[in-house]
Amino acid sequence: MKLSITVVIAIVNLCFQSANAQSEPIITEDFKPSSVNQPEKIFPQVNSQRRVRTSISAPNASKVQLDIGGVKYDMKKDEKGVWTGESNPQDEGFHYYQLNIDGASVPDPGSLYFYGAGRWGSGIEIPSADQDFFALKNVPHGLVSENIYFSKLTNSFRRCFVYTPDGYNENTKTRYPVLYLQHGSFEDETGWSSQGKANLILDNLIASKKAVPMIIVMDNGYAYKDQKNTPSDKNKPRESIFEEVLIKEVIPMIDAKFRTIPKRENRAIAGLSMGANQTMRIMMNHLDTFSYYGGFSGTANYPNSDTIDVSSFLDGKYKDGNALNKQIKLFWLGLGTKEPAPFPKSVGAFRNMLEQQGIKYEYYESPETAHEWLTWRRCLNEFAGKLFK
């Protein structure tokens, strides 16, 4: 049987349309405003597939994209000049994102702004199945205060944020242990109480009696030696002195200003990513100051190999495992199961080194999370419950 040219073309078009329909993703239209939107802003939104939808009015723009996780998604313009677009499904948890308008990357005016990736920009919260542990609940809440101080070492004003638990202002004779908690690279002292929900995590842990009441100090991990204003100094790389600032300025200030228990047995130090590396070095250099350590997501500064040269690592401070076990009450490591290279390999090598030296440690894996805030929220939740008991 012969088919006419018209029929053949119709069949081809039908097949083509069918193939396109199969390749086009089916988007569930149950989008809701993000929990971290500006007040009364409808966009950005998240649906049950964990897709992000953004919308912005830019009638004179020729191209607008949603940039989340380094992946850009083209947005479409309607007759009113409003651009709207969606992302692919995202992992649960908090993510930084931005809009790209004709090549210029800008924050989304619909979202709250967070300091991350070296800038103030937009953030989106993809609801997680276990978000109850950092949710805002009807429980007693502590206070996060901003503390400004002048650092003689950096010759500059600096600040740290301090969490004090519920009852701190009323129980004036009670003293508290302290956790010094550090952010990651290209973030600052606002991260743990904003993106990290550290205060809410501790509020919930303390209310459920899973953690003892404690003070948390969150300082800025970027601290540099003061340089003279000369041409030669301008060409020199800045010397990081955060360890010195923390030990010589921040801890004495906190002990003087707050009702702490100023003993090593009642001090812990922890950090994420860059902060994990910083705090581990500080811990090992000052075992007379801290007795608890938490490293969240390790750092790429560990040798990217299957072994670690113990004799050279931190000046050989890991050589005597038995002595270290007597000094450190808790050596705790955490990592997401979807962390990118080189973190799994380098942290694995570090764990092997600890085991070879007989150093006791605890290890936790955050399921289905990468190098992101849900990993670190979970780490803090697990770690804080083990402190000062």
pLDDT, tens digit, 9 for 90 and up, residues 129-176 = 999 999 999 999 999 999 999 999 999 999 999 999 999 999 999 999
Render pLDDT for 237-257 as a digit per residue (tens, 0 to 9): 899 999 999 999 999 999 999
State residue 20's pLDDT score: 45
Element of type H or E holding 244 = helix 242-245
State residue 234's pLDDT score: 64
- Considering the domain architecture, whether residues 236 and 103 belong to the same structural domain is answered as no
Number of residues written out for the chain: 389
Last residue of a domain, one of 96, 127, 158: 127
- The burial class, CB within 10 Å (0-12 / 13-18 / 19+), for 142 is buried
Render pLDDT for 208-240 as a digit per residue (tens, 0 to 9): 999 999 999 999 999 999 876 555 666 678 999
SS (H, E, C) the chain: CCCCHHHHHHHHHHHHHHHHHHHCCCCCCCCEECCCECCCCCCCEECCCCCEEEEEECCCCCCEEEEECCEEEECEECCCCEEEEECCCCCCEEEEEEEEECCEEECCCCECEEEECCEEEEEEEECCCCHHHHCCCCCCCCEEEEEEEEECCCCEEEEEEEEECCCCCCCCCCCECEEEEECCCCCCCCHHHHCCCHHHHHHHHHHCCCCCCCEEEEECCCCECCCCCCHHHHCCCCCECHHHHHHHHHHHHHHHHCCECCCHHHEEEEEECHHHHHHHHHHHHCCCCCCEEEEECCCCCCCCCCCCCCCCHHHHCCCCHHHHHHHCCEEEEEEECCCCCCHHHHHHHHHHHHHHCCCCCEEEEECCCCCCHHHHHHHHHHHHCCCCC
Residue 15 lies in a domain: no
Cβ contact 142:159 at 8 Å = no
What is the pTM (predicted TM-score) of this model? 0.90
Q: How many CB atoms lie within 10 A of CB 296?
A: 32
Res 1 pLDDT > 80: no
Q: What is the CATH number of the domain that holds 68?
A: 2.60.40.10
Residue 22 lies in a domain: no
State residue 233's pLDDT score: 62
- Considering the domain architecture, whether residues 315 and 189 belong to the same structural domain is answered as yes
Res 282 pLDDT > 70: yes
Render pLDDT for 311-360 as a digit per residue (tens, 0 to 9): 455 666 777 889 999 999 999 999 999 999 889 988 998 898 889 889 99
Scan for tokens 């705090």, then name that residue: 279
The torsion angles phi and psi of 168, rounded to 5 degrees, stand at -60, -45
In percent, how much of the chain has pLDDT > 90? 79
Res 3 pLDDT > 60: no
Q: 140, 61, 67: which is closest to 101 by C-alpha?
A: 61
- Considering the domain architecture, whether residues 269 and 340 belong to the same structural domain is answered as yes
Render pLDDT for 252-261 as a digit per residue (tens, 0 to 9): 999 999 999 9
- Considering the domain architecture, whether residues 264 and 322 belong to the same structural domain is answered as yes
**Domain membership of residue 48 as a residue range:** 32-127
Residue 63 lies in a domain: yes
Q: What is the CATH number of the domain that holds 170?
A: 3.40.50.1820
Residue 83 lies in a domain: yes
Cβ contact 338:369 at 8 Å = yes
Res 278 pLDDT > 70: yes
Render pLDDT for 13-46 as a digit per residue (tens, 0 to 9): 544 444 444 466 899 999 999 999 999 999 999 9
Residue 14 lies in a domain: no
- Considering the domain architecture, whether residues 222 and 278 belong to the same structural domain is answered as yes
Last residue of a domain, one of 80, 107, 127: 127
Residue 21 lies in a domain: no
Report the alpha-carbon distance of residue 370 to residue 247 in Å, rounded: 31
| Overall domain count for the chain | 2
Res 362 pLDDT > 80: yes
Residue 26 lies in a domain: no
Residue 100 lies in a domain: yes
- Considering the domain architecture, whether residues 122 and 229 belong to the same structural domain is answered as no
- Considering the domain architecture, whether residues 103 and 158 belong to the same structural domain is answered as no
Lowest mean pLDDT among 26-30, 116-120, 306-310, 318-322: 306-310
State residue 36's pLDDT score: 97
State residue 232's pLDDT score: 60
- Considering the domain architecture, whether residues 158 and 145 belong to the same structural domain is answered as yes
Res 182 pLDDT > 70: yes
The larger pLDDT score, comparing residue 15 to residue 275, is at 275
- Considering the domain architecture, whether residues 155 and 262 belong to the same structural domain is answered as yes
The mean per-residue pLDDT over the stretch 35-63 comes to 97
- Considering the domain architecture, whether residues 176 and 324 belong to the same structural domain is answered as yes
If DSSP codes are grouped into helix, strand and coil, which group holds residue 194? helix
- Considering the domain architecture, whether residues 60 and 189 belong to the same structural domain is answered as no
Last residue of a domain, one of 127, 147, 177: 127
State residue 315's pLDDT score: 63
- Considering the domain architecture, whether residues 144 and 277 belong to the same structural domain is answered as yes
